[in-house]
Structure 1
Amino acid sequence: MLRDEIITVFGGSGFVGRHVVRALAKAGYRVRVASRRPHLAQDLRVMGVVGQVQLVQANLRVPASVERALDGAAGVVNLVGVLNEGGRQTFTRLHALGAKTIADTAAAMGIERMIQVSAIGASDDSASRYAHTKAEGEASVLAALPQATILRPSIVFGTEDGFFNRFGAMARFVPALPLFGGGKTRFQPVFAGDVGKAVLAAFERSDARGETYELGGPGIYTFEELMRFILAEIDRPRLLLPLPWTIGKVIATISELVGALPLMPTLITNDQLVQLKSDNVVSDGAKGLSDLGIVGETVEAIVPSYLVRYRRYGQFHEREA
């Protein structure tokens, strides 16, 4: 049965957003997906019954469009974010100013419930502009809506993720994968579906109001361990090349220059290299998935199902012993 409440999801057409929309729709909420290009997200409509999932055009740089997207909503989720800056899509405009626009508008319209999806490592003291602007966004949200819930996921994995897919695809063409800083940085990947469940739980649990949760999966891995896992799953032996941070900076600078060209991918940016210098795991004593009643899925249970596309002889070819 459909509920009367409408929840507006900014960034709902993205990788994580699709899991959030699915979780909310499954729970019976009416979901309004606010996107810059709603015509590219028509597939979201089938995640609910007819009319349950609405698509509206909104741009965080245009406050009037944000107000229209929030009209009549009982709650709001902000998932908007970028890993690489490009054109007008900058960290400051999206992570900091965009979050502030949504929160201020929601507060002015009397909307009390907001879920701000940030990132583990968000900090005013971080040398990473990504992490610094994520922290600015959190502060702006809590200033306008002190009862908002902050969710900070680690690396998010799932069928369309930008981590396991990136390195799986890369391994098809290169003889070696880089281990920046020796590959010792630790990660605690979290399944995108669990992030969706966390958003739903944050809305429905009164004890989640005003709280911050760091979302990490059951396992903690070094960067090197994750690379070895990927190579084993796709059955492509490759050299793992430890690189000092100084060499990494040179590679990141070249990668940024190449990525500025049309249709050319960016391997890594200098800002991402800065982030790699710090572990990306749930802090000691921080609230996490279990505090929201969620048992996280493991990397081993989910990732192999979509890494098969990168195997040397296709998904049905048996791997070598």
Structure 2
Amino acid sequence: MVTSSRTLTVFGATGFIGRELLRSLTKHNAAGSITLRVASRSAKAKNLSSWKQLAPNVNAIQPLHCDVTNPDHVSEAVKGATDVINCVGILYETPSKNLTFAKIQQEAPNLIAEAVKESATVKNVVHVSAIGADLDSPSAYARTKAMGELATLNLSNNDIARVTVLRPSIVFGPEDSFFNRFENMSRYLPFLPLVGGGTTKYQPVHVQDVAAAIIKALALNAEGDVPSGVYELGGKTVFTFRQLMQLVLDATQRKRILLPIPFPVASIQGTAFELLHSVVPSVPPLLTRDQVELLKSDNVVSPSARTLYDLKIEPKACSLDTISYIR
């Protein structure tokens, strides 16, 4: 699908993946014909200069304050767009701010899908989900991710829009919440925790590769277009959680104990951190009970999945060089 001009509504554009998408779009040869609609709770007209710095070559940028749980906000953000990208997601819940998995990862995609159905202009939808999305998962994070996928894929089933769902593993990069989080812990603690013994497997994918996958899915050019559908995004190498913690220590040149913590003990710790977060919402929980459930299952690309290679993207390695930002 190619048009002379495109209006891209990006939900969650102020987040980790959203910001990298804006940076990547400005380097694309179609940037001059793109209008970017930055839809986020924190996107306001007064921040326009900062968005222009992220994406200086796009035709125009339209910051739009948008609460994805508000139907009117979502409808206004989608109105007149040719493409809709949903990068919204949370790693833990903050009920006092209406940030729950059900609201953000289930209801919001439903609202976006309904707005797309009402639109006569949207031809392309890209939804960023996660490896492990599963309706039957004991984790609320994984269940709501799966429900959000279903709402989005239904658009394709009804021939309303071209739909691509991207499921990344752990996403890393200079602003990530994974390696930076454990680097910070290693500053103050004599150990790094290995929940469940640290045997859970991950396939970290660089945020630039995720942004590149979104751009491929947008089909901005006739050449190199790829089929729509579901893709699982993982890096070159599969690591155990223990290996990733050792990578953090190697990158920071710190010596810390890698301390195995049984799942039941980790759940108790998660309860304590959640309680602290409920009392002081500005303090993110180091661990939650839902994250403990996620840690019980491997987070790697399935053998039958379409991957970055199917998108003609060579994934960056997760290595001392590519996580040097935590030093």
2:51 is equivalent to residue 44 of structure 1? yes
8 Å CA contact 1:26, 1:48 repeated in 2? no
Equivalent residue pairs, number? 306
2:179 is equivalent to residue 164 of structure 1? yes
8 Å CA contact 2:36, 2:58 repeated in 1? no
1:139-150 equivalences under 5 Å are: 139-146=150-157, 147-150=162-165
Q: Find the counterpart in structure 2 of residue 97 from structure 1.
A: 107
C-alpha spacing 1:190/1:115, structure 2 compared with 1 (3 Å) = same
Amino acid at match of 1:158: G
C-alpha spacing 1:74/1:235, structure 2 compared with 1 (3 Å) = same
C-alpha spacing 1:167/1:95, structure 2 compared with 1 (3 Å) = same
For structure 1, the 5+ residue unaligned runs are: 309-321
8 Å CA contact 1:13, 1:41 repeated in 2? no
8 Å CA contact 1:159, 1:303 repeated in 2? no
Q: Find the counterpart in structure 1 of residue 62 from structure 2.
A: 54
2:55 is equivalent to residue 35 of structure 1? no
8 Å CA contact 2:26, 2:58 repeated in 1? no
1:170-209 equivalences under 5 Å are: 170-204=185-219, 206-209=225-228
1:115-264 equivalences under 5 Å are: 115-146=126-157, 147-204=162-219, 206-209=225-228, 211-262=229-280, 263-264=282-283
Amino acid at match of 1:260: S
Q: Find the counterpart in structure 2 of residue 6 from structure 1.
A: 7
Amino acid at match of 1:240: L
8 Å CA contact 1:289, 1:295 repeated in 2? yes
Mean CA deviation greater in 13-22 or 53-62: 53-62
How far has the Cα of 1:304 moved from its partner? 3.3
8 Å CA contact 2:247, 2:320 repeated in 1? no
For structure 2, the 5+ residue unaligned runs are: none
How far has the Cα of 1:30 moved from its partner? 2.1
How far has the Cα of 1:51 moved from its partner? 5.3
Measure, in 1, the Cα distance between the counterparts of 2:306 and 2:47.
33
8 Å CA contact 1:11, 1:35 repeated in 2? yes
Measure, in 1, the Cα distance between the counterparts of 2:309 and 2:266.
36
Measure, in 1, the Cα distance between the counterparts of 2:86 and 2:140.
19
Measure, in 2, the Cα distance between the counterparts of 1:297 and 1:256.
34
Amino acid at match of 2:41: R
8 Å CA contact 2:27, 2:57 repeated in 1? no
- Cα deviation 1:109-146 (Å, max 9, x = unaligned): 02121001000000111110000000001111112343
